[in-house]
Amino acid sequence: MTDKDIRDSLPFRPLSRRSLLKGLGAGAVFSATGNMPGFSGNAQAGQSINYMCWEGYNSPSILDPFQKSNDVAISVDLITDSAGGFAKLAAGAFRDFDLVSSDCPWIARMGPAGISRFINDADFAEQYAEFYPQFRAPFAPLQFEGKATGLPTRWGWVGPTVNTKFDKLETWKSYAPVFDPAYRDKICLLDWGDWPIMPLALYAGVDPYKKLDDKELEEIRKVIRAAFKNTRAIVADLATAQKGLIDGSFRCLIGGGTYCTSSLRNTGHDYIQSIVPEPRNGMKQGIIWMEATGLIANDRDPAIASKFLKYIVSPEVAVKLAITEATCNLVPNQKAEALFTAQQKSALQMDYMWTAWDNSHFHTIAPNIDDMLAIWQQELAAR
């Protein structure tokens, strides 16, 4: 996707309060955005930060030291859906937030959409210097017309999750078993928006990250329909998916990867691995996902938010962010690598990460995402 594509897909600026009120549905929009984080309860602290983030970022071991040393109170609004979080900010909630941690593609569009500030890479040179070379400035996935919308914070890959007690790793060199009658009623699709669609599209030989024509969308419909044949469940809940993976009732989770398996590996289930399939007909089959943290473009001073951004990518904090109770994920900070224990490194499959990186697409927002989701909805209803 070129910069121009992004601009074309974003023909709007955030609505001003006035233009918002012009619509009769203004109330609906406001009520739909749900609980706006309040500014109450922060009286004892000097400053306050309102933070929209995925789980993990809100861990007390991360937030508490920062709140204490900076005399700042952080209110957290957890998101469970990157698109939903974006929509909420876009509908006007951006005025109330200072920081956001979400999927990289969504952070990337916040800059051009006026929701997020562009950052000056030079201000974060110290941080970039600690990153793996792959993440150093200028980091393309977060760039828009040469300006960065935030810093990368967590990452991993999407590919087959294999329980080696039941399957050999070689079996999953490709997604072929998903469609093999021998795996009937043994496949779990993760009900996480576009995530399960992308790997299936890649297997069908369609690059879902480019603009698709009707023929390609039809290919995607076919591959989704074929995958549904062997699907035991479409699971939105990580614990259920992990349980099935361990007891063998799910032989593979589609749409997941390290995000689903690292925490299991870290708690002793090291026979479970996330791999990336080998390229098929010249098309890479893996997907790299990444989360990033950006500064919200409200009318307040971004100094403290900016300080938090430097804090969250620092090696000590990155380690805490990498190993949380629910999930374990890689971080872009190379200096942090030395702080992990051998067990944690193994859990994160660090010896495999660059292999995965080399065989993967980088996850961005697909131009035809809504078409694909609509196809998903239709095929699901027709089962």
Partner 1 sequence: MRIEHKSWRDPLLIGATVPLALIMILFFVVPLIMTGILTFQSSRYYRLAWTWDLTIWRDVFGHSHYWVVMLRTLGMSLACVVLSVLIAYPVAYGLATRLGSLRHHVTILITFAFLTDTVLKTFGWILVLDQNGVLNWGLSHLGFEPGAVNILFTPTATLIGMVYNLAVYPIFTLYLSLARIDRDLQLAAYDAGASRFRTFFEVTLPLSRPGLYAGAALVFVLSLGAFLEPKVMGGGNAPMASELINQSFSTRVNWPLGAALTLVLIVIGSASLALSAALTLRRRGGEQGRLSDVG
Written as one letter, the residue type at 310 is K
373 binds partner 1 (CB under 8 A): yes
Q: Is the peptide bond before 138 cis (omega within 30 degrees of 0)?
A: yes
- Comparing CB distances to partner 1, the nearer of 188 and 312 is 188
Residue selected from 81, 219, 316, 337 as contacting partner 1 according to rule CB under 8 A: 81
378 binds partner 1 (CB under 8 A): yes
Strands 147-148 and 143-144: antiparallel
- Shortest reach from residue 248's CB to partner 1, in Å: 9
16 binds partner 1 (CB under 8 A): no
Interface region with partner 1, contact rule CB under 8 A, candidates 56-64, 83-91, 218-226, 274-282: 83-91
Size, binding site for partner 1 by CB under 8 A: 43
Residue selected from 9, 69, 164, 267 as contacting partner 1 according to rule CB under 8 A: 9
- Shortest reach from residue 27's CB to partner 1, in Å: 6
- Shortest reach from residue 115's CB to partner 1, in Å: 11
Interface region with partner 1, contact rule CB under 8 A, candidates 87-95, 166-174, 278-286, 297-305: 87-95
Instruction: Pick the closest to residue 349 from 284, 285, 278, 274 (CA basis).
Output: 274
Cα–Cα distances in angstroms (integers) from residue 56 to residues 52, 277, 320, 328, in the given order: 12, 28, 9, 9
Residue selected from 3, 71, 247, 278 as contacting partner 1 according to rule CB under 8 A: 247
Alpha-carbon distance of 199 to 202, in angstroms, equals: 5
Nearest 5°: the CA angle 373, 379, 382 is 145
- Shortest reach from residue 23's CB to partner 1, in Å: 5
- Shortest reach from residue 42's CB to partner 1, in Å: 29
Interface region with partner 1, contact rule CB under 8 A, candidates 85-93, 95-103, 252-260, 271-279: 85-93
Sign of CA dihedral 298, 97, 120, 306: positive
Interface region with partner 1, contact rule CB under 8 A, candidates 8-16, 168-176, 294-302, 322-330: 8-16
90 binds partner 1 (CB under 8 A): yes
Burial group, residue 165, by CB count within 10 angstroms (0-12, 13-18, 19+): exposed
Q: Within a 10 A sphere around the Cβ of 111, how many other Cβ atoms? A: 24
- Shortest reach from residue 320's CB to partner 1, in Å: 28
> What angle separates helix 214-230 from helix 369-381, to the nearest 10 degrees?
40
- Both tokens of residue 366? 């697909």
Cα–Cα distances in angstroms (integers) from residue 258 to residues 4, 159, 264, in the given order: 33, 8, 10
Task: Show contacts with partner 1 in window 166-195 (CB under 8 A).
Answer: 189, 191, 193
What are residue 361's DSSP bridge partners? 287
**Contact criterion met (CB below 8 Å) for 177 and 166:** no
- Comparing CB distances to partner 1, the nearer of 32 and 169 is 32
- Shortest reach from residue 13's CB to partner 1, in Å: 11
Interface region with partner 1, contact rule CB under 8 A, candidates 18-26, 53-61, 207-215, 356-364: 18-26
Alpha-carbon distance of 329 to 321, in angstroms, equals: 8
- Both tokens of residue 136? 């150093």
145 binds partner 1 (CB under 8 A): no
Site string for partner 1, 227-246 (x = CB under 8 A): ----xxxxxxx-xx--x---
Using DSSP, state whether 70 is helix, strand or coil: helix
Q: Residue 85's Cα: distance from chain center in Å?
A: 12
- Both tokens of residue 288? 């790299």
Strands 143-144 and 360-362: unpaired
- Shortest reach from residue 379's CB to partner 1, in Å: 8
Site of interaction with partner 1 (CB under 8 A): 9-12, 23-25, 27-29, 31-32, 81, 83-84, 86-87, 90-91, 189, 191, 193, 231-237, 239-240, 243, 247, 249, 370, 373-374, 377-378, 380-383
